[in-house]
Amino acid sequence: MSFSEGRIDFFYGGDNTAVMRKFVYMIILLTAAFTGCRQQTIEVEDAVMEAAQEEEPLLLHPSFNLTEEDLAELCSELPGTVRQNIEARPQYFLQLLLDIYKGEQELVRLVNKEQGLSSSDVPHDLVALDDYRDRLLLSRRGHQMRSVLLPSLMAMTQAARQEGIDLMISSTYRSYDYQEGLYNRYVERDGREAADRYSARPGKSQHQLGTAVDFGSIDESFAATAAGMWLKENAWHYGFSLSYPQGMESYTGYMWESWHYRYIGEDASKLEQEFFEGIQERMLRFINSKGSLLEAALI
Ligand SMILES: [Zn+2]
């Protein structure tokens, strides 16, 4: 290759922006060479470098190789209101997701009418709540739950008590077999269609996870009680989330259950509250379906 061809490559290789940048850079160098003005060269060189950096797509979070466009693609199936929340604070959104994926995945495992647990799935850290009778209000003896949520449940119980509100724990861990018996009794009583609106089939209950808690009366009257209203306002601060909110039956598959909360951890409950409009099912579907894509984007 001759010298002149090389020069042509230098000016015309690459896209138009790159060509322009090279052209400007050459002019600067030539000007500097003729004027001998070194300071000016440095300043203009800096300006050229800054311009070049601006053209690099900006990453939204230091731990993810994700641009604004990538994140928009990742969230494209979410409702517009949720996407707006994410667009307003993308870094905070990704930070919460990072913390959730670093934490215990079982806490955000999706269990719904489609995805469930097997008859052999039993939590490894079940504890008897009778041992904590002095700090929890229990409807009866024999309740069990995972130890991972005990500190949060006790802190929440204490916070409510300080405001004169008692949080009665009425139902906690249920084994696959127990749920099977319960569901079959409901079907016998009300028929399968009616039972499916308020009771999970065996293997499809969040109670089998050992992290779901039913409070108070376990019926519609609970929503209007002081405990029901307090939980609605405050439970998320302690990592608890209302699983089946009002008006969401067509989406969650269950009637409004003002008494049924699931412990998902504080990072997830913040994510749900601040980005997913308090819809646990929507957030868990997102977390569970996009996990591998987000993991692949980790830096
Ligand atoms: Zn429940």
145 pairs with which residues across the strands? Answer: 127
Kindly report the backbone phi and psi dihedral angles of residue 184, in degrees, each rounded to the nearest multiple of 5, phi listed first.
-65, -35
CA of 45 to the centre of ligand 1 (A): 65
Rounded Cα gap, residues 44 and 272, in angstroms: 48
CA of 24 to the centre of ligand 1 (A): 68
CA of 8 to the centre of ligand 1 (A): 73
Domains (range + CATH), the chain: 3-55 (no CATH), 111-279 (3.30.1380.10)
Per-residue pLDDT of the chain (299 residues; tens, 9 = 90+): 444 444 444 444 445 555 555 555 555 555 555 555 556 656 666 665 666 556 678 999 999 999 999 999 999 999 999 999 999 999 999 999 999 999 999 999 999 999 999 999 999 999 999 999 999 999 999 999 999 999 999 999 999 999 999 999 999 999 999 999 999 999 999 999 999 999 999 999 999 999 999 999 999 999 999 999 999 999 999 999 999 999 999 999 999 999 999 999 999 999 999 999 999 999 999 999 999 999 999 99
pTM of the predicted model as reported, rounded to 2 decimal places: 0.81
E strands present in the chain: 126-128, 137-138, 144-146, 168-171, 212-215, 240-242, 260-263
CA of 177 to the centre of ligand 1 (A): 16
Kindly report the backbone phi and psi dihedral angles of residue 4, in degrees, each rounded to the nearest multiple of 5, phi listed first.
-65, -35
| CB-based contact 168:215 (threshold 8 Å) | yes
Burial classification of residue 63, based on how many CB atoms lie within 10 Å of its CB (0-12 exposed, 13-18 middle, 19 or more buried): middle
